[in-house]
A and B are shown apart, each in its own frame.
Chain A
Amino acid sequence: RKEVEQDPGPFNVPEGATVAFNCTYSNSASQSFFWYRQDCRKEPKLLMSVYSSGNEDGRFTAQLNRASQYISLLIRDSKLSDSATYLCVVTDSWGKLQFGAGTQVVVTP
């Protein structure tokens, strides 16, 4: 079983719509949680940290459910520029990043 699992998609989203997707993680001792965004053939870029209380950054909302060991990301009012692969990341106490394989989002006009 993979340590971090994501639906690979693609999620095809009309511009202006809302899209949401989850990831699950297997290590209950995981310490920190993040969403990264990766454009084709580029490096991952930090999108946002994820907290149990939930957090919002503009059109992006992230949520962590420690009991069920899943993390979610919601994108409102999708823009064409939101098209990317979204990587779910969990870390151990030393900061070793465990990545999911990524969820591809394609925003269409």
Chain B
Amino acid sequence: DAGVTQSPTHLIKTRGQHVTLRCSPISGHKSVSWYQQVLGQGPQFIFQYYEKEERGRGNFPDRFSARQFPNYSSELNVNALLLGDSALYLCASSLVGNTEAFFGQGTRLTVV
């Protein structure tokens, strides 16, 4: 079985641009969460979706948005990119909310 897959793996964008990151959860997993990890820190929670509904939002500006599709895959969108948005963006899937979560390899975003 495939694990959590994220695309793209690496991305370079210019300040002010928009980016869309994609995540496919493990088959059968209905909960998808997004995290941002900057160097030297633990991952920070951005969004959680369960059964296509937003179940939680972290302390991120409205430039960050996400959605979950009927097949449980998910997209994270970031508008008006800032240099400070450069980070590793991680997607995690789990069967239901508070069971073990498994991570994709992440998307490394660099904003220049």
Residues of A near any B CB (own CB < 8 A): 4, 31-32, 34, 41-46, 49, 87, 91-102
A98 contacts B45, C-beta separation under 8 Å: yes
B42 contacts A92, C-beta separation under 8 Å: no
B98 contacts A99, C-beta separation under 8 Å: no
Chain B minimum-CB-distance residue to A96: B56
**B88, B92, B98: which contacts A32 (Cβ < 8 A)?**
B98
B100 contacts A97, C-beta separation under 8 Å: no
| Contact residues of B between 22 and 58, Cβ < 8 Å to A | 31, 33, 35, 40-45, 48, 50, 55-56, 58
* A47 → chain B closest CB, angstroms: 11
Assess whether B73 is interfacial by the CB under 8 Å rule. Answer: no
A94 contacts B50, C-beta separation under 8 Å: yes
Residues of B near any A CB (own CB < 8 A): 31, 33, 35, 40-45, 48, 50, 55-56, 58, 88, 90, 92, 94, 96-106, 108
Contacts A42-B105, A95-B33; A100 near B42 (Cβ below 8 A): yes
* B93 → chain A closest CB, angstroms: 10
Contacts A32-B98, A43-B106, A44-B90; A94 near B42 (Cβ below 8 A): no
* A to B contact number (C-beta, < 8 Å): 70
Mostly, the A contact residues are loop
Chain A minimum-CB-distance residue to B41: A101
B100 contacts A49, C-beta separation under 8 Å: yes
B98 contacts A92, C-beta separation under 8 Å: yes
* A87 → chain B closest CB, angstroms: 6
A45 contacts B103, C-beta separation under 8 Å: yes
Distance between Cα atoms of A34 and B101 in the complex (Å): 10
A99 contacts B55, C-beta separation under 8 Å: no
B99 contacts A95, C-beta separation under 8 Å: yes
**A97, A100, A102: which contacts B45 (Cβ < 8 A)?**
A97
13 further contact pairs, Cβ within 8 A, besides A43-B104, A87-B42:
A32-B98, A46-B102, A91-B97, A93-B98, A95-B55, A95-B94, A95-B98, A96-B55, A96-B56, A97-B33, A99-B42, A101-B40, A101-B42
**B42, B58, B101, B103: which contacts A95 (Cβ < 8 A)?**
B101
